């Protein structure tokens, strides 16, 4: 599949908007590149082979034509990099964040049902549900010291941490399941809901519509 289609001129538009904002504030141009380098078709194939999934098409073509990280809603995108031979998404120079492709992303309203199924499969009958933590205590009882980590990992299964939105807010790109290609918004509290990003017509955003909407707003701001 040819991954080099669909983002003509976007990289240049983002760079122009960033530079216009810097001039408006009287700041010098940054010596650092605005975008991470684009990925080759072979590198994208490596990522997909590592995780055993095909990345959503809008994101695949973005990686090939625009960059593997850079400015984006609302502050920046996480950067897809190979670190010590493993591909992962890096946020603020931290350790790579890996995608768990072992199951579909579970929507907020379906999350309690997923937890119950996991606990019962482990031979543990759920007892109580806390409105904030759901069945976290049951996970600890069923899985011991590994319970809390498993609980957290299951919550983001099938989704990529795609952006830092500031003030603890994060953006997620669904890579596995029936909502593949859609975006979700989440804050960093213990067990917040995942909310779909919605455009002005009420449609759920894909990576492409989400990114272009942000870019158009940023361009209007510079004008």
CA distances (Å), origin 119, targets 105, 138, 148, 190? 18, 8, 13, 19
In what order do the strands lie in the sheet containing 169-174?
Answer: 76-77, 159-166, 169-174, 183-187, 195-196
Question: How many domains are there within the chain?
Answer: 2
Residues 57 and 15 in one domain: yes
In which band, very low, low, confident or very high, does the pLDDT at 190 lie, cut at 50, 70 and 90? low
Domain ranges, residue 120? 106-155
**3 preceded by cis ω (within 30°)?**
no
Say whether both 189 and 133 belong to one domain: no
* pLDDT at residue 1, rounded to an integer: 38
Query: pLDDT tens digits, residue range 15-37?
Result: 999 888 888 877 777 677 899 99
The mean pLDDT of 152-160, rounded to a whole number, is 92
Q: Given this model, what pLDDT does residue 61 score? A: 97
Nearest CA to 74 out of 206, 180, 200, 197 is that of 197
Residue 2 located in a structural domain: no
- Same domain flag for 131 and 53: no
- Give the tens place of pLDDT for each residue, 35-61: 999 999 999 999 999 999 999 999 999
Task: Specify if 5 maps to a domain.
Answer: no
Residue 134's nearest CA partner among 196, 192, 195 is 192
Query: Among 62, 2, 36, which Cα is nearest to 209's?
Result: 62
How far apart are the C-alpha atoms of 221 and 216, rounded to whole Å? 9
Q: Domain end: 155, 175, 192, which one?
A: 155
């Amino acid at each position: 599949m040819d991954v080099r289609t669909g983002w003509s001129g976007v990289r240049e538009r983002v760079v122009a908007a960033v530079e216009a904002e810097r001039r408006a504030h009287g700041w010098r141009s940054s010596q650092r590149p605005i975008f991470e380098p684009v990925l080759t078709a072979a590198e994208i194939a490596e990522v997909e082979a590592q995780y055993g999934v095909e990345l959503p098409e809008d994101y695949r073509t973005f990686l090939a034509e625009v960059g593997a990280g850079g400015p984006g809603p609302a502050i920046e995108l996480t950067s897809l990099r190979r670190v010590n031979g493993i591909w992962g998404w890096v946020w603020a120079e931290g350790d790579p964040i890996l995608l768990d492709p072992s199951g579909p992303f579970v929507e907020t309203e379906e999350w309690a049902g997923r937890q119950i199924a996991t606990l019962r499969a482990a031979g543990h009958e759920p007892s109580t549900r806390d409105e904030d933590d759901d069945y976290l205590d049951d996970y600890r009882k069923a899985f011991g010291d590994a319970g809390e980590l498993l609980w957290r990992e299951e919550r983001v299964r099938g989704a990529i941490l795609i952006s830092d939105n500031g003030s603890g807010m994060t953006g997620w790109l669904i890579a596995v399941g029936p909502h593949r290609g859609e975006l979700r918004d989440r804050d960093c509290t213990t067990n917040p809901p995942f909310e779909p990003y919605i455009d002005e017509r009420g449609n759920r955003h894909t990576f492409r519509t989400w990114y272009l909407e942000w870019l158009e707003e940023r361009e209007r701001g510079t004008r």
